[in-house]
């Protein structure tokens, strides 16, 4: 599908979409004619910052475009424009602040008091409520709002904002199913997101997440998605993502499957993990026991290195109760089985 077609409303959605924002019309035109999605995004970014937009729908389309394309500094500037609606400012300041500091129970309680009549404001508000639960590692929080979000999506009347809201929904639903270990459903939403996403950073991130869903069952598929992540990151100069793939994700998958030839990393924790896979558990114990505190991942590695089932059981409980993560709770389970098989 051509890029400009991705943001167009479906035939069904056209029934209730009766308004085209200037940002949508400009971006749609650029995706057709600019020659690349990156150039189209850059030109639309400039358009958003230099054309005053007073209608609520126009402002929301602009804010979502800037946010979903990772133009965070520009979004911060846009929120200071005098003509921006107060409700738009209130919600998107929370959206931006959450990039720096995760939402808390107190934040969630305050946001639950907000009331919005406008369908688009209501929609982004509902997403913020779900983000609040996710930031507290309570991934089942999505269940509370799924139906309401889907209803809200059917009432949005502007296509660019609707497009980004659908992306948010697919991304949140992926994480919900991923963390609750419902992998077929998680992958379904990851594929939807990848097939309709335009922003390179978000594309790379979702490829990386999708790779992890195969971490325990399919080494080759997991690595294939990680190499795709790396390719996207290299093409778009996303250095942090490229580094994470090279020094964290690939070593993690390789160590778990004990296929470590030519795999190197600068991350001491994954060096420890690789050391165990290479038959040098004493090196791993030295690295891990020198740390003041251990994450559930690190505790899992140490439990494997020491063949300590109690440590692994505790790591599993921490994954579940501290991080709400049923998927990665499988890691210490796998290592317990491995120890028991060896014994």
pLDDT over 90 at 181, yes or no: yes
What are the distances in angstroms from CA 249 to CA 164, 211, 226, 238, 326? 28, 9, 8, 15, 19
Percent of the chain with pLDDT over 90: 92
pLDDT over 60 at 343, yes or no: no
**Burial 314-331, CB ≥16 within 10 A → b, else e:** bbbebbeeebbbebbbbb
pLDDT confidence bin for 66, thresholds 50/70/90:
very high
Task: Note the pLDDT of residue 28.
Answer: 96
Helices within 200-295 (DSSP H only): 200-213, 219-235, 239-244, 250-257, 268-277, 281-289
Integer Cα distance of 81 and 85 in angstroms = 9
Task: Note the pLDDT of residue 17.
Answer: 85
Task: Note the pLDDT of residue 11.
Answer: 81
pLDDT tens track for 18-56: 899 999 999 999 999 988 899 999 999 999 999 999 999
Task: Note the pLDDT of residue 49.
Answer: 95
């Amino acid at each position: 599908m051509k890029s400009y077609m991705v943001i167009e409303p479906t035939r069904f959605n056209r029934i209730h979409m009766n308004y085209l924002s200037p940002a949508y019309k400009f971006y749609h035109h650029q995706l057709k004619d600019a020659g690349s999605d990156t150039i189209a995004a850059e030109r639309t970014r400039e358009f958003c910052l230099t054309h005053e937009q007073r209608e609520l729908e126009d402002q929301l389309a602009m804010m979502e475009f800037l946010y979903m394309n990772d133009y965070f500094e520009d979004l911060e500037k846009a929120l200071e424009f005098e003509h921006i609606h107060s409700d738009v400012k209130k919600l998107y300041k929370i959206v931006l602040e959450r990039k720096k500091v995760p939402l808390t129970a107190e934040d969630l309680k305050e946001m639950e008091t907000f009331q919005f009549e406008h369908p688009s404001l209501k929609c982004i508000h509902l997403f913020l409520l779900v983000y609040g639960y996710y930031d507290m590692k309570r991934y089942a929080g999505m269940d509370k709002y799924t139906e309401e979000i889907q209803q809200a999506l059917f009432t949005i009347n502007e296509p660019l904002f609707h497009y980004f809201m659908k992306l948010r929904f697919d991304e949140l639903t992926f994480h919900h199913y991923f963390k609750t270990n419902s992998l077929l459903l998680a992958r379904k939403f990851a594929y939807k997101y990848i097939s309709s996403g335009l922003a390179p950073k978000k594309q790379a991130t979702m490829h990386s997440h999708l790779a992890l869903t195969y971490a325990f069952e399919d080494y080759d598929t997991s690595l294939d998605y990680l190499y795709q992540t790396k390719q996207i990151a290299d093409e778009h100069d996303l250095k942090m993502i490229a580094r994470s793939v090279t020094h964290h994700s690939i070593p993690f998958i390789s160590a778990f499957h004990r296929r470590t030839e030519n795999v190197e990393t600068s991350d001491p924790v994954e060096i420890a993990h690789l050391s165990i896979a290479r038959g040098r558990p004493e090196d791993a114990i030295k690295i891990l026991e020198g740390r003041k505190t251990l994450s559930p991942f690190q505790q899992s590695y140490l439990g494997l290195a020491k063949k300590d089932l109690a440590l692994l059981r505790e790591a599993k409980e921490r994954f579940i109760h501290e991080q709400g993560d049923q998927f990665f709770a499988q890691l210490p389970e796998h290592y317990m089985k491995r120890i028991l098989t060896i014994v």
